[in-house]
A = this chain, B = another copy of it.
Amino acid sequence: MRYKRSERIVFMTQYLMNHPNEVIPLTFFVNKFKQAKSSISEDVHIIKGTLEKEKMGTIITSSGVSGGVSFKPGMSKDEATRIVEEVIEKLQEKDRLLPGGYLFLSDLMGNPKLINRIGKMIASIYIEEDLDAIVTIATKGISLANAVGSVLNLPVVVIRKDNKVTEGSTVSINYVSGSTRQIETMVLSKRTLKEHSNVLIVDDFMRAGGSINGVMNLMREFKATVKGVSVLVESKEVEQRLIRDYTSLVRLSDVDEYNQNFNVEMGNSLSKFE
């Protein structure tokens, strides 16, 4: 089968998009298209140029034995702003406020199109970190953690609040919930996270930060280094937060449960984009 340049570009673009943050040997394309390496390099150059023009990331070329090309995703500040605005708009819909100052987020977390865009945004913030895994807490953080892990080409590790036979041997810790001050348990399957990993913690909602603080303690048991914490929604209704260094997409404040009023504003994630 012969391929024209335009056909090669269609295939290579989709292939690189579907394999973000992964080195693809140039020989893979050379063999597939039976074309000289120089032609393939030119194709890559066109793809790279367009991605950069559109601020959608770039293509990194590495040489040597394990050399090749890899798609490094990126995001423009415009697109990041559009995402934050869309989230704010959705959160301002009626009847989202739940007892205890929580927000109903299940529909957002179950909207793959939106969550994949948010995941790409969070991934763009941490793409320069040398990460080994994305860590999240069951249940609602999972879809977002997966979206981030897909873009960064990293495994996703799910911490549970209950122990199940399907987890195999586990490590567990007790922690005090920041909001309710109750003692709760967190469990992580030993086999899902290698010791001494660099991790990014991703979750849907953070109030006082008790859960995330629990995750950090659990990470210590795995000798892991927490390179970052990123949440979709942070609640400002907290006097003393247990976590200092984190990014949030949006911030919830002025929660008035009686009148079902609250305020949502941009979080600090957006400041990471130029």
Footprint of B on A, CB under 8 Å? 1, 5-7, 9-11, 13-14, 17-19, 22, 46-47, 49-51, 53-54, 56, 98-100, 102-107, 109-113, 115-116, 138-140, 142-143, 146-147, 149-150, 153-158, 160, 162, 165-168, 189, 191-192, 205
Contact = CB atoms under 8 A, between A and B. Distances in A.
A146 B149 contact: no
B111 A140 contact: no
Contacts of A51: 10, 14
Contact of A191 (B14, B56, B106): B106
B155 A107 contact: yes
Contacts of A166: 98, 102-106, 140, 205
Contacts of A47: 10
Given A139-B160, A143-B146, A165-B99, A106 B10 contact: no
A6 B7 contact: no
Contacts of A7: 46, 49-50, 53
Nearest to A162: B162
Contacts of A142: 139, 142-143, 146
Given A107-B192, A112-B149, A166-B105, A139 B155 contact: no
Select the residue from A14, A107, A143 with max chain B CB neighbours within 10 A: A14
A154 to B, nearest CB: 8
Given A106-B167, A115-B146, 18 more contacts: A6-B50, A7-B49, A7-B50, A10-B46, A10-B47, A10-B50, A13-B14, A14-B14, A98-B166, A100-B165, A103-B166, A106-B191, A110-B155, A110-B192, A113-B153, A139-B139, A140-B166, A143-B156
A179 B53 CA distance: 56
A104 B139 contact: no
Given A11-B54, A142-B142, A168-B98, A191 B107 contact: yes
Select the residue from A1, A6, A10, A167 with max chain B CB neighbours within 10 A: A10
A6 B46 contact: yes
29 contacts: A7-B49, A7-B50, A10-B46, A11-B50, A11-B54, A17-B17, A17-B18, A18-B116, A98-B168, A99-B165, A102-B165, A102-B166, A103-B166, A105-B166, A106-B167, A106-B168, A106-B189, A109-B158, A112-B153, A112-B154, A112-B155, A139-B139, A139-B142, A139-B158, A139-B160, A142-B142, A142-B146, A143-B146, A166-B205
